[in-house]
Amino acid sequence: MTKVVSVDEIEEVCNIIERNGVVAFPTETVYGVGVKFGSKIALDKLMEAKNRDYSKAITLMVANEKDIEKYAFVSDDAKKIVQAFMPGMITLVFKKKDTVDSIMTNGKETIGIRIPDDQYVLTLLKKAGPMLVTSANLSNHPNTTSTKEVLNQLDGRIDLVVDGQTSDNVASTVVDVSRNEMKILREGKITKEDIQEVLK
């Protein structure tokens, strides 16, 4: 049985994250499920809970812009995108720094990073530290937007769900900025045109 807690019980959520637990919470896009960054044990639990293939990387969520440069090489164009759209509904895929263990990126040379535009999640990240976060659903199943939908798919597979409802049902836009040429991998509310406008 997965425990359900209210947004007020953030200390309990942090305690579970600290103990390598897997927690789900509402964001400004869809429900996310995540673990603390840097723990192989926690990452394995997350992959298992979702039935997710290790060939797929998981996004790193951080609380602020300065954190991005700890983990990734940020080009001038990428900086413009970060300043225009973060915090927000966008994930940028950067070339990772050598200090990031490739286990944390499932062997990839790149790392996807997002700063969510959600006060609760930002508070959680400030308290618990950076987290590996992906959508709170079983692999190849629909995204979730409420506690009930999360439990329908992940009850008993994760430790805890923060009770709530997301304000949207569209996943974030994903942009690869790891090479010279920017590439949109998934378009969400932030469009290719929006990004090109910023880069003019």
pLDDT of residue 83: 97
Q: List beta partners, residue 132.
A: 35, 60
What sign has the CA pseudo-torsion 11, 70, 53, 195?
Answer: positive
d(CA 22, CA 48): 10
Q: Are 140 and 65 in contact (CB under 8 A)?
A: no
Closest to 38 (Cα-Cα) out of 121, 130, 117:
130
Enter the tokens of residue 141.
């199943």
pTM: 0.95
- DSSP characters for 4-18? EE-TT-HHHHHHHHH
Q: Which DSSP category does 171 fall into?
A: P
| % of the chain with per-residue pLDDT over 90 | 94
pLDDT > 90? residue 169: no
In terms of DSSP H, where are the helices of 114-183? Answer: 119-128, 147-154
pLDDT > 90? residue 167: no
pLDDT of residue 165: 92
pLDDT of residue 173: 96
The per-type count for the chain, helices as H runs and strands as E runs, is: 7, 11
Q: Are 186 and 197 in contact (CB under 8 A)?
A: no
Q: pLDDT confidence of 140, banded at 50, 70, 90?
A: very high
Q: Phi first, then psi: what are they for 121, rounded to 5°?
A: -65, -40
